Amino acid sequence: MPTVIPPIDPLGLPAAAALLKALSLLTFTLHLVAMNVTVGGLMMALVYGRCREGHPGALFAARMRALLPSAMALTITLGVAPLLFVQVLYGQAFYTSSVLMAWSWLLVIPALCVAYLGLYLAYLRPSWIGDRSQALAWFSVALTLLVAAIFANNMTLMLQPGLWAPLYATSAYGIALNLGDPMLPARYLHTVLAAPVVAGLVGALMGRRFRSPDAEWAVWAWRTGVRWFHVGAGLLMLSGVWYLLSLPPRVGSQFLGASAHDTGVLTLGIVLGVVALAVAKRSAWLATVLTGLGVGCMVVARHRVREYMLYPHVNAAGIPVHADSVWAIAFAVTLALGAAAVAWLVYRALRCSGSTEGAAPD
């Protein structure tokens, strides 16, 4: 089996593996949060979009809808960086599994385009498509969930070097999937269930933000958001247990005591989640920060699963480093300036969000 593992790229890593891993985890966490806001926000917008005019749910859905195209655009943009780092660190596994499932992997691109276009038409140009906008939005959700499923497929198939050669022997046409893997459904569910949790927080925060013009509505939004957060997190915990049990024992056991670090990270993630649940009713901001940190812990756990599954066949720490410090510093400076620019832009946008003259018309 190990003979099919592609060799290390002779050009090597551009920096120490640990630094690249840190960047990968950081950017992936941001991507995941944006993804959750998009998917969960869509679910909420659809559920409350059916409320009749005048019900607080109708305004809630409208405000959610206004966020979604931007949230999806950010999800896509924030996904680019982790995609870069996964190739740099684990290209040997990632390219191989991608080629094996080439057609479905390729499907991600048109599916994203159509899903985004659907959102844009349904929520920003409702006048163009009339009463079909709700149906179109459902279609977009389905496509988004499909994209997530394809991702889960590739991210688990790349962890299974033993499956590659047999799958390729069955077909070289790029039509393989990883459907026989017990990890896949559990992992998929666990990732997707985080969406209503995070979006619930967004809803609760929205209740806080728009408190002044309409206090009654704000209370409703706040309560609804917190309810989604609580119910979603309960389901998420259950799916997490299933996921943990679906891991191969040699890997799962690491999180159940065999490795103090890994057990600690997972426990910390769960504790942060539980504390967030407990404080959510009192402070949505605190719950948001805690949940963000909890997601960060889970991303680290996910990373550790990958390292265990791939070791020793693919091991980023074993790739020679051809560091270029000038360019690494250039990146650090750009990142700092970019973060400052984003902060300034967001600040400007928030400062003018009180005035209601309206955004660009058609």
Partner 1 sequence: MNYPIWDVPLTGGGLLIAAIAVVHVFISHFAIGGGLFLVLTERMGLRARDAAVLEYARHHTNFLTLVILVFGAVTGVGVWWTIALVNPTAVSALVHLFAWVWAIAWVFFLVEIVAALVYRYGWGRMDARTHQAVGWVYFGSAWLSLLMINGILTFMLTSGKWPETQSLTDAWMNPGMLPSLAMRSAVCVALAGVYALITSSQLADLALKERMVRYSAKWVIVGAGVIPFAGLWFAGTLPEQARFLASGGTPMVTAFTVASVLLSGLLITGTVFGPMLFPRQTHVTFACVLAALALGATGATEWVREAVRKPYVIYEYMYSNSLRPADLADVSSLGLLASSRWHVPAKSDWNDPVKIGRSVFRVQCSSCHTVSGLNSIRFATRGWDKALLDQQIQYLNTLKGAMPPFIGTDEERGGLVAYLISLQAEGPGASAALPARSEGERLCRR
Out of ligand HEM, partner 1, none, which partner does residue 260 contact, by CB within 5 to 8 A per kind?
Answer: none
- Quick one: tokens of 115? 């899903």
Q: Which is nearer to partner 1, 30 or 265 (CB)?
A: 30
Give the binding-site size for partner 1 (rule: CB under 8 A): 76
Q: Which of residues 167-226 bind partner 1 (CB under 8 A)?
A: 168, 172-174
By the rule CB under 6 A, 270 interacts with ligand HEM:
yes
Of 75, 92, 104, 191, the residue at the interface with ligand HEM (CB under 6 A) is: 191
Contact 31, 78 (CB under 8 A): yes
Closest CB 47 distance from partner 1, rounded Å: 24
- Quick one: tokens of 255? 């999180």
Out of ligand HEM, partner 1, none, which partner does residue 216 contact, by CB within 5 to 8 A per kind?
Answer: none
Q: Which of residues 46-75 bind ligand HEM (CB under 6 A)?
A: none
Closest CB 121 distance from partner 1, rounded Å: 10
Among residues 238, 261, 248, the alpha carbon closest in space to that of 306 is found at 248
Out of partner 1, ligand HEM, none, which partner does residue 240 contact, by CB within 5 to 8 A per kind?
Answer: ligand HEM
CA distance 309 to 168: 20
CA distance 292 to 354: 27
By the rule CB under 8 A, 24 interacts with partner 1:
no
Out of ligand HEM, partner 1, none, which partner does residue 78 contact, by CB within 5 to 8 A per kind?
Answer: partner 1
Q: Which is nearer to ligand HEM, 61 or 305 (CB)?
A: 305
Q: Which is nearer to partner 1, 205 or 237 (CB)?
A: 205
Residues in CB range of 344: below 8 A, 6 or more apart: none
Out of partner 1, ligand HEM, none, which partner does residue 271 contact, by CB within 5 to 8 A per kind?
Answer: none
Of 197, 206, 218, 226, the residue at the interface with ligand HEM (CB under 6 A) is: 197
Give the binding-site size for ligand HEM (rule: CB under 6 A): 25
What burial letters (b/e) apply to 51-75, b meaning 16+ CB within 10 Å? Answer: eeeeebbebbbebbbebbbebbebb
Q: Which of residues 295-334 bind partner 1 (CB under 8 A)?
A: 322, 324, 326-328, 330-331, 334
By the rule CB under 8 A, 164 interacts with partner 1:
yes
By the rule CB under 8 A, 107 interacts with partner 1:
no
Closest CB 116 distance from partner 1, rounded Å: 6
Which positions lie near ligand HEM, rule CB under 6 A?
32, 187, 190-191, 194, 197, 233, 236-237, 240-241, 243-244, 255, 266, 270, 273, 291, 294-295, 298-299, 301-302, 305
